[in-house]
C-alpha cells in the first residue's frame, strides 16, 4: 500500500517533538526564519533534533537566507533536508550542495509545470497557498490548480488539518503532506499532541481508503 509521508513543521518544544514522533510523523520541520513566530535558532533546532529517532528526518525551513545563515543551519543540522520557502533561484538552491525541497506559492495563473522543471534538482516540490509574507500562512489553496503528472514528488501543504487532509490526499495523491497551524491549539509553534495524533490517523485512513478503491478497481470485471 502506498503510504503518504507526514511532515509536521514549526516545532519549538521538546514535548511536541516527542509527541509528533509518537503520532507517526516521518519528518519534523524547524523554521530557521527569524521573522516567523515559529522561529528557532540553529542551536535550538539541533537540540530538538537530538530527540529524533532513526528514519525521522529533520527539515530546516529557510526564507531568503544569507550565506552565513544557511551555513549556520547546515552546520547545526548536518543531516537536515533543506526547505527553501522564499525567492531562491534554482542556482541558489543547488549551490547549498544538500538535498532540498522547493516551496511553490499557488495561485491562479501560476505555471507549476514550468516551476517544477526549473527546480528539477529538488527532492520534492511543496505546494502552499500564496499569502502575504513567507513561510506559510495556514490557508488552503484551490487544489484544482494542481496539474497531473507533475514530474516531481509532491508535498501538499497549506491549511491542512485532520478534517480536510483526507480530501487533499484523494484530490492530489501527494507523496507527502505538511501540517503546521492545523495541529496547533495554543499559538504559533505550540503543537497539540491530540491534534497531531488525529492528523496522522486521518492520513493513514486516507491511505487505506485509496488502497481499497484501487483494489476494487483491480478486482472489477
For the annotated catalytic residues, the residue numbers are 9, 128
Q: What is the 3-state secondary structure (H, E, C) of 51-102?
A: CCCCCCEEEEEECCCCHHHHHHHHHHCCCCEEEECCCCCHHHHHHCCCCEEE
Q: Return the SS3 of 110.
A: coil
- 146: nearest Cα among 118, 113, 124: 113
| Nearest CA-CA partner of 23 in 197, 168, 213 | 197
Q: What is the dihedral of CA 126, 131, 135, 138, to 10 degrees?
A: -80
Amino acid at each position: 500500500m502506498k503510504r503518504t509521508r507526514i511532515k509536521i513543521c514549526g516545532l519549538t518544544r521538546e514535548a511536541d517533538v516527542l509527541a509528533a514522533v509518537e503520532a507517526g510523523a516521518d519528518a519534523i520541520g524547524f523554521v530557521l526564519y527569524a521573522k516567523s513566530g515559529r522561529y528557532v535558532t540553529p542551536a535550538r533546532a539541533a537540540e530538538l533534533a537530538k530527540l529524533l529517532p532513526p528514519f525521522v528526518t529533520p527539515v530546516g525551513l529557510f526564507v531568503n537566507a544569507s550565506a552565513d545563515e544557511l551555513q549556520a543551519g547546515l552546520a547545526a543540522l548536518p543531516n537536515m533536508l533543506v526547505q527553501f520557502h522564499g525567492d531562491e533561484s534554482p542556482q541558489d538552491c543547488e549551490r547549498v550542495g544538500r538535498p532540498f525541497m522547493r516551496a511553490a506559492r499557488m495561485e491562479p495563473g501560476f505555471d507549476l509545470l514550468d516551476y517544477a522543471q526549473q527546480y528539477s534538482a529538488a527532492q520534492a516540490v511543496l505546494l502552499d497557498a500564496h499569502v502575504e509574507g513567507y513561510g506559510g500562512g495556514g490557508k488552503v489553496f484551490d487544489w484544482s490548480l494542481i496539474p497531473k503528472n507533475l514530474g516531481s514528488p509532491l508535498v501538499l501543504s497549506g491549511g491542512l488539518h485532520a478534517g480536510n487532509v483526507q480530501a487533499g490526499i484523494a484530490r492530489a495523491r501527494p507523496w507527502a503532506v505538511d501540517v503546521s497551524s492545523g495541529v496547533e491549539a495554543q499559538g504559533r509553534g505550540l503543537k497539540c499532541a491530540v491534534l497531531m495524533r488525529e492528523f496522522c490517523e486521518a492520513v493513514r485512513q486516507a491511505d487505506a481508503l485509496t488502497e481499497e478503491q484501487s483494489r476494487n478497481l483491480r478486482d472489477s470485471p
